[in-house]
Amino acid sequence: MKSEELRSLQAPLKEKYRVNPGEAMITLRAQGQIGEGVTCRVDTGKALVEAGLHPATGGNGLAACSGDMLLEALVACAGVTLKAVATALEIELRGGTISAEGDLDFRGTLGVSKEAPVGFSSIRLNFDLDTDASEEQVTTLLRLTERYCVVKQTISNPTNVDVLHSVKN
């Protein structure tokens, strides 16, 4: 996709959102079904994923770990955002790899230690880019990618999560 193609796709949306900010408020949804054993089946819209316990918490490694899925969502969002920003700035990317790794202390999630955090204590997002762009262009590209990556911003600046429930008798 060329810069002008992206701009022509996004320009009417940007104008609509400027004129009527409420139009920009969209609710995204995800749903899962409790599966066999200790699993949850999640329909991603493109495939069905069965999430389960990580081997460090007793899983057999056959089901996707939700921690891995969070990192995969970060990589996917950062990659799409990077390409969109590069396209808008007309920075040629011949290719590249985006990777994420995060540190977890499973004592927290298993309730072994109240001092151990539940969740990632650190996440590293790495971009290995194949480009002739200048250092200044790459710096701008990465700064804007970080700024506009929904998943990165959500986990860096946590949003409130309301936990609701219903029980069928």
Residue 108 covered by a domain: yes
pLDDT value of residue 160: 93
Q: Where are the beta strands (DSSP E) in 18-144?
A: 32-34, 39-43, 48-52, 64-65, 95-104, 120-130
Residue 128 covered by a domain: yes
Residue 28 covered by a domain: no
Instruction: Indicate which CATH number applies to the domain containing 131.
Output: 3.30.300.20
Residue 73: which domain range? 65-156
Q: How far is CA 21 from CA 6, 26, 95, 125, in A?
A: 21, 11, 35, 31
Triad 58, 61, 103: Cα angle to 5°: 75
What digits encode the pLDDT tens for the residues 12-51? 998 989 899 898 888 777 777 777 777 788 877 788 889 9
Total residues belonging to the chain: 169
Q: What is the mean pLDDT of residues 87-105?
A: 92
Residue 1 covered by a domain: no
Q: Helix axis angle, 66-89 relative to 3-19, nearest 10°?
A: 100
Residue 12 covered by a domain: no
What's the number of domains the chain is made of? 1
Q: First vs last Cα of the chain: how many Å apart?
A: 53
Residue 79 covered by a domain: yes
